[in-house]
Amino acid sequence: MTTLLHAGRGALAAAAAALALAACAPVTMTDRGAYVADSQYHARSADSRIRFLVLHYTEGDEPTSLEELTRENVSAHYLVPEHPPLRDGKPVVLQLVPESQRAWHAGVSEWQGTTELNAASIGIENVNSGPHDTPQGRTWAPWPADQVAAIIALSKDIVARYHIPPTRVVGHSDIAPQRKIDPGAAFPWKQLYDAGVGAWPDDATVKADLAGRAPDAPADVRALQTKLARYGYDVATDGVLDEPTRRVFAAFQMHFRPRDYSGTPDAQTDAIAQALLDKYVDRTAPVVPGATETAP
């Protein structure tokens, strides 16, 4: 009896030790019903699905925007209200699609040689009514400070978690300049940059790249096309100032020089483009339009 008792105690001790060891060991086995997946090995050749952040405006109020974004055929990962409510002092944004899933916000688009932006990006829709055309000209709806703070907080988190480079934080108008103008000329790109999100040219470099030219002096069309193609835009490099090229120039100006986004190729636009290349893109890289996938 004593031997059996000692044997039972030994078995219990061994079982307890095994359980303790199992509790400390990483869990690599996942039972998925018809099979078990073992995740103890990790391949090195992998990266995140998410490589771009795309910002939009809804061109409607919050109820209308929410209704539209929860229908079929259009969606975004996040919707930022015009005045986000606070919870524990923090702005509340609406997550409509899990980040691990594709949302339908980019449509037919291209950036840095990638054409299926829905599959490679996170989309943030922001409640804003966009442009208003009057007899005096076009005006843009303002962006409230509390909404901008929420956009910055959300964007900073996404960019940090997915290591999204500055040149891959873009607007819908950047990736689809032939058909979209959002998030518009009033969107606070410089505020986002100052907070650590996205790209912006250095003033001193822009001045140096102007090289004494008047800001409104004409710029060479082919040269500007080539610079914007290197930066990421889908644009021809044929030197022809046609409407598609003007729309690309206007999209670039709306992002980086919103006081004048007429699409006219002037010296200041050319200098801003060069300053961005100086700052973010290797100047020795070959000039291959639409093929800057490895650019930061």
Are the C-beta atoms of 267 and 216 separated by less than 8 Å?
yes
Q: Which of 7-11, 76-80, 129-133, 199-203 has the lowest mean pLDDT?
A: 7-11
Q: Tokens for 288?
A: 């291959």
Q: How confident is the model at residue 27 (pLDDT cuts 50, 70, 90)?
A: confident
Cα–Cα dist 262/186, whole Å:
15
Active site residue 293: no
- pLDDT of 11 reads 60
Q: What is the mean pLDDT of residues 284-295?
A: 44
What does each C-alpha distance from 211 to 9, 114, 204, 205 come to in angstroms?
87, 33, 11, 10
**Considering 72, 125, 243, 293, which one is annotated as catalytic?**
125
Q: What is the mean pLDDT of residues 101-111?
A: 97
The ranges assigned to domains in the chain are 52-194, 203-280
Question: What pTM does this model have?
Answer: 0.85
Q: Which of 190, 196, 187, 124 is nearest to 166 (CA)?
A: 196
Cα–Cα dist 106/27, whole Å:
38
117-154 pLDDT, tens digit per residue, is 999 999 999 999 999 999 989 999 999 999 999 999 99
Q: How confident is the model at residue 84 (pLDDT cuts 50, 70, 90)?
A: very high
Q: Which of 150, 251, 125, 255 is nearest to 198 (CA)?
A: 255
Helix axis angle for 221-231 and 243-256, nearest 10°, is 60
Structurally, at CATH architecture level, domain 203-280 sits in Orthogonal Bundle (1.10)
CATH of the domain spanning 52-194: 3.40.80.10
Q: Which long-range contacts (CB under 8 A, 24 or more apart) does 69-73 make?
A: 69/96, 69/125, 70/96, 73/104
Q: Is the pLDDT of residue 4 over 50?
A: no
Q: Which of 18-32, 193-207, 222-236 has the lowest mean pLDDT?
A: 18-32
259-289 pLDDT, tens digit per residue, is 999 999 999 999 999 999 999 997 545 444 4
pLDDT, the chain, mean: 90
158-181 pLDDT, tens digit per residue, is 999 999 999 999 999 999 999 999
229-270 pLDDT, tens digit per residue, is 999 999 999 999 999 999 999 999 999 999 999 999 999 999
What does each C-alpha distance from 284 to 135, 201, 203, 289 come to in angstroms?
48, 19, 22, 14
Number of Cβ atoms within 10 Å of the Cβ of 30: 10
